[in-house]
Amino acid sequence: MRLTKTLATACAWLSFGTGCLSYRRLRYSRLDVGVLLYLIKLMAGALAPILSVLGLVGVAQGLLSKMPLTALAGGMGALLSAHYVRRVAAPHDSFERAFGADWRDRIPAGRSSPMLKSRWTCWVPALPRPYVTRDVPFCTIPGTDRHLLCDIWQPGPGVVPSGLALIYLHPGGWQDLDKGVRTRPFFRHLAAQGHLVMDVAYRLSHETDLFGMLGDVKRAIVWIKANAARYAVDPRRVVAAGGSAGGHLALLAAYTPSHPRLDPEDVRGNDTSVRAVVSLYGVPDLCRLGWESGEPSSPWVLALCRKLGFVTPHEHLDGPELMRKLLGGLPHEVPDVAVLLSPITHVAPGCPPTLLLHGSHDRVIPVERARELYEALYRAAVQVAYLELPWVEHAFDLAGPRISPSTQAALYDVERFLALMAV
């Protein structure tokens, strides 16, 4: 009996504490103790439905055991988490403004049937297994024997190909992570709708700068178009997508097709345009990152993150050093380069349709930067849909994707956006 009361009390206060944390906006910090608080908040948002249930458990046990404080804490925690889920999964009218009131009618019935039926459901159902081919070489860096690799996710048995190929560029601050990190549920869901996913391992900062990374993305575009028939892809329906640093590269590649300074020599003369672009908390403006000062990362936190596989085994660079490696200097020291490599610089009426997804509490890329990009695209009459998720943190889609309200709300929009681009 005492154990039951203890567990119920723990559930109540866990629900209440994490519920309160979900609404708090955290300040940006490098890899230090603050990162641990960020990770707790990230998981609290993803697990909000479960935390709401835990709060109700605390309410029930608190009432039965005449523990009013436990019942109150559990009730508040349940309400906070339920309100969070409701707001994060709330509908919006961005697609109507971007594509017209009849946009749903333009998606064929056969394409809409495998999609999520609502912006949040208790659990995303299992889907047909896709065909996955790992470590496919898609180019060799000129002058070297360095092969760039990708994973190819194709529609599984019984799934009719849509003809659309999604080139995905992983997050990681241009120096961390790799293809295939916590993205498999996302890719499996898209492959079940007939889309092909090309998960690209572009070079990171220990090997090259931003010009080289962008060149890798352009090489991926050229390669998938050259192999379109082999993979049942329409070369006119190639979409670039990515998260954080990958979102920056996806936006920049999408807005600079056949650019004389940004297309590497080995792809010049090829078509490097894309049908559309999807950015998950991507970087729109390198000139306004705010990474130019501050304390260095904590050695023990850095070691822990490296052990967990979240940080590169190579030398980890903090903001100023990373910017110097990527740009050749801090943004104010090399403004021409920073402007050239900022997606917002290249916004023009000819930009492809764009889907922007960003959390309002993003501690790494402030939501104000995403709003500025949206406004610039809107003024340029580009078809742009914008989803701003309240209280949601950076990298929200990498935590608990099968139950996370923010991940499901984003996936709901992504799959409909891709279905429109595949028509």
pLDDT, residue 1, reads 58
pLDDT, residue 271, reads 97
Region of 294 please: left (phi>0), alpha (psi -120 to 50) or beta: left
Stated as kind and residue range, the H or E segment containing 387 is: strand 384-389
State how far Cα 134 lies from the chain centre.
21
Q: What is the pTM of this model?
A: 0.96
Both 31 and 106 in a single domain?
no
Q: What is the identity of the amino acid at 197?
A: V
Look up residue 101 and give its two tokens: 């009131």
The answer as to whether 253 is a domain residue is yes
Paired with 356 in beta bridges are 279, 386
Both 40 and 174 in a single domain?
no
CA distances from 45 to 49, 287, 357 (A): 9, 30, 16
Both 108 and 84 in a single domain?
no
Provide the pairing of β-strand 276-280 with 131-140. unpaired
The answer as to whether 157 is a domain residue is yes
pLDDT, residue 300, reads 86
100 contact partners, CB below 8 Å, separation of at least 6: none
Region of 381 please: left (phi>0), alpha (psi -120 to 50) or beta: left
pLDDT, residue 308, reads 79
Per-residue tens of pLDDT for the chain, all 423 residues = 577 778 878 999 999 999 999 999 998 877 888 888 999 999 999 999 999 999 999 999 889 888 889 999 999 999 999 999 999 999 999 999 999 999 999 998 877 778 999 999 887 777 889 999 999 999 999 999 999 999 999 999 989 999 999 999 999 999 999 999 889 889 999 999 999 999 999 999 999 999 999 999 999 999 999 999 999 999 999 999 999 999 999 999 999 999 999 999 999 999 999 999 999 999 999 998 877 666 788 888 888 888 878 888 888 899 899 999 999 999 999 999 999 999 999 999 999 999 999 999 999 999 999 999 999 999 999 999 999 999 999 999 999 888 999 999 999 999 999 999 999
Cα separation, 367 vs 319, in Å, equals: 19
The answer as to whether 282 is a domain residue is yes
The answer as to whether 94 is a domain residue is no
Question: 227: which DSSP letter?
Answer: T
The answer as to whether 269 is a domain residue is yes
Look up residue 319 and give its two tokens: 């903001």
Both 10 and 125 in a single domain?
no
Q: Which of 56, 53, 48 is nearest to 72 (CA)?
A: 56
| 107 backbone dihedrals φ, ψ, rounded to 5° | -90, 120
Cα separation, 30 vs 297, in Å, equals: 5
Q: Which of 19, 17, 24, 16 is nearest to 360 (CA)?
A: 24
> Tokens 């940006």 belong to which residue?
28
Both 46 and 105 in a single domain?
no
Which residues form the domain of 121?
A: 99-422
Q: Where a domain ends, among 88, 118, 151?
A: 88
Instruction: Decide: helix, strand or coil at residue 168.
Output: strand
Both 83 and 104 in a single domain?
no
Q: Where a domain ends, among 88, 117, 151?
A: 88
The answer as to whether 93 is a domain residue is no
pLDDT, residue 144, reads 92
337: CATH: 3.40.50.1820
> Tokens 């020291």 belong to which residue?
333
Stated as kind and residue range, the H or E segment containing 94 is: helix 94-99
Both 105 and 191 in a single domain?
yes
Number of domains in the chain: 2
Q: What is the identity of the amino acid at 395?
A: A
Paired with 133 in beta bridges are 152
Stated as kind and residue range, the H or E segment containing 111 is: helix 109-112
pLDDT, residue 270, reads 97
Question: 1: which DSSP letter?
Answer: -
Both 182 and 241 in a single domain?
yes
Q: Where a domain ends, among 35, 56, 88?
A: 88
Paired with 140 in beta bridges are 147
Instruction: Work out the number of other CB atoms within 10 angstroms of the CB of residue 125.
Output: 10
Cα separation, 192 vs 411, in Å, equals: 13
